[in-house]
Structure 1
Amino acid sequence: MSETTALTRQAQKERTRQAILDAALELSGTVGFAQVSLRQVTREAGVVPTAFYRHFSSMDDVGLALVGQSFETLRAMIRDAQRDPDTFADIIDASAEILVRVVKQNKAHFGFVARERTSGSPLVREAIQRELELFISELAVMLARLPNIDSWSGEDVKMASGLFVRNMVYRAEQVIGIPDGRTDLEEDIKRKARREMRLIVLGFRDWKS
C-alpha cells in the first residue's frame, strides 16, 4: 500500500468518525442524547452499523467523544485568551466578550454539555463533571498570574476559578437560548456577566489564604 493510499484511507476513516459524531450531536439537540439510538445515528450519518463499530463500541462511547470535543472548545477559548494581552489588561470585559462569541460559534457543543450535565446518561454526566473539574484546574493556572492572587494557596486559586467557571456555565446556557439576531439580549448577558465577575474580583484584594 502506498503512502498516499494510506493517507487517503485514514482521511476517510476520520470523515466517517466525524460524520457519526456530527449526526449524534444534531439528533441529541432534539431529543437528548440518552434517547438517540445507534440506528438513528447511522441513518443520519449515511453509514452502515458495521462502519459505526469500527469507530465506537457503543453510544456511550460516542457520548464520551462528544464530551471531549465540547471541552476542547473551552480549552481553545482559554488558550486564545492567554495569547491576547488585552485579556489581562481587562480580564472582566475580555472574558464576557470571549464567552458570548465562542458560545455563539459552538452552540451545538455547548448545548450538548448544558443538557447532558444534568439529564444525560450517568456515564456522560460523570465525564462532564470530570471535565469541568479539570477545566477549573486549568483556568486556575491562568488566574494565578493575576495581581492579588499570586500569593494565594493553590486551593484558594482553584476556589476562585470555580466561581468563574460556574458563572460562565450559567451565562453560556443563556447564550445558547438567544434567537439569532438578538444582539440586545447578548449585550444584556455580557453586562450581567461583567457585574458578577467584578463582584468576585472585588473580593480578591481582601482575601487571605
Structure 2
Amino acid sequence: MTEVAPEAGRRIADVSAEPVKPVSRQERKQRTRQALLDAALAQLADRPFAVLSLREVTKRAEIVPTAFYRHFTSMDELGLVLLGQSMDILRRMLDTARDAGTDLDDVVHTVVTTLHDYTRKHETHFRFLTRERHGGTGAVPQAARTELRLFAGELAIDLARFGCLRSWRNEDLRMLAELIVTMLLATALELIETVPETDERVLATAEKRLKLIALGAAHWK
C-alpha cells in the first residue's frame, strides 16, 4: 500500500475542504439571458431577425418558452439588445482605429486591419448588423438604421481632424462619414461570405476604396 506524505495529505484535505461557491440567482438569470441572446444570434446566420420565432430561440437555449418573458418583454426587445451589442463592437473598432493619427496611408491601413480583426472575431454580430440595416420596417431594422446614422455622426467628428476637412460643413462631413460606413460594412460582409484565404485580396480592395474616397474628399468643393 502506497503511503501518502503528511504534507500531501494536508494539501488534498485542504482542496477537498474548499467550499464550492454557490451560483447566485442573479448570476443564473444573467447566464440564461445571455444564452437566449447567443441562441438567437446563432440562428441569424442565414435569415433576418423578423422571421425568427420565440419558440426557436428558447428551444436552442434549452428553456421553456414561458421562461423567455423573465428576461425580455418581446422578441423585439431581444433584437434591440443584440443590436446594442453589435454597435458596441463597432464603436470599439472605431476607438481602436483612432490611434492611427492623421497620415492617410496609416489611417487607411489601420482602419482596414482593425475592421478585419473585429469582423473575424465577431462575424455573427456583423452579419446581423449588415442584414438588419436593410431589413424593412420592423423595430429592429429601424433601430439599426438609426444607430448607424448616429455612428456616422461620431465618425464625422473624427473626420474633422483632418486638415482638408476642417472647413467642411457638418452635413458634408456626415455625408462622407455615411459613405465610409457603408463601404466598411460592405467589406465586413464580403469577408464573412468568403473564405479566409481571400482576406488579403478583400482587404487590398478595401484600402483602395478608402483611398479613392479620401482622394475625392480632398478635391471636394
The yes-or-no answer on 1:143 pairing with 2:156 is no
Q: What is the distance in 2 between the residues matched to 1:188 and 1:107?
A: 18
Q: What is the distance in 1 between the residues matched to 2:137 and 2:36?
A: 19
The yes-or-no answer on 1:17 pairing with 2:30 is no
Where does structure 1 differ by over 4 angstroms across 4 or more consecutive aligned residues? none
Q: What is the distance in 2 between the residues matched to 1:120 and 1:102?
A: 26
Q: How many residues align?
A: 199
Q: What is the distance in 2 between the residues matched to 1:119 and 1:155?
A: 26
The yes-or-no answer on 1:129 pairing with 2:145 is yes
CA drift at 1:29: 1.7
Q: What is the distance in 2 between the residues matched to 1:116 and 1:15?
A: 25
TM-score (norm. length: structure 2): 0.82
CA drift at 1:11: 2.3
Which of 70, 79, 83 aligns to 1:63? It is 79
Contact 2:136 2:142 (C-alpha < 8 Å) held by counterparts: no
Deviations 1:113-146 (A, max 9, x none): 2222224662221111111101100111111112
What corresponds to 2:95 in structure 1?
79
Aligned AA (2:27): A
2:165 counterpart SS class: coil
Q: Which runs of 5+ in 2 are unaligned?
A: 1-20
Q: What is the distance in 1 between the residues matched to 2:48 and 2:146?
A: 20
Which of 175, 178, 181 aligns to 1:159? It is 175
Q: What is the distance in 1 between the residues matched to 2:73 and 2:126?
A: 24
Contact 2:83 2:140 (C-alpha < 8 Å) held by counterparts: yes
Q: What is the distance in 1 between the residues matched to 2:61 and 2:202?
A: 35
Contact 1:34 1:121 (C-alpha < 8 Å) held by counterparts: no
1:204 counterpart SS class: helix
Aligned AA (2:208): R
What corresponds to 2:209 in structure 1?
196
Aligned AA (1:79): D
The verdict on how the C-alpha distance between 1:32 and 1:203 changes in structure 2, with shifts beyond 3 A counting, is: closer
Contact 1:118 1:125 (C-alpha < 8 Å) held by counterparts: yes
What corresponds to 2:120 in structure 1?
104
Aligned AA (2:201): D
What corresponds to 2:42 in structure 1?
26
The verdict on how the C-alpha distance between 1:188 and 1:8 changes in structure 2, with shifts beyond 3 A counting, is: same
The two structures, once aligned, show a CA RMSD in angstroms of: 2.0
What corresponds to 1:187 in structure 2?
200
What corresponds to 1:88 in structure 2?
102
Q: What is the distance in 2 between the residues matched to 1:186 and 1:32?
A: 25
CA drift at 1:8: 2.8
1:203 counterpart SS class: helix
Q: What is the distance in 2 between the residues matched to 1:156 and 1:194?
A: 22
Moved more, 160-169 or 48-57: 48-57
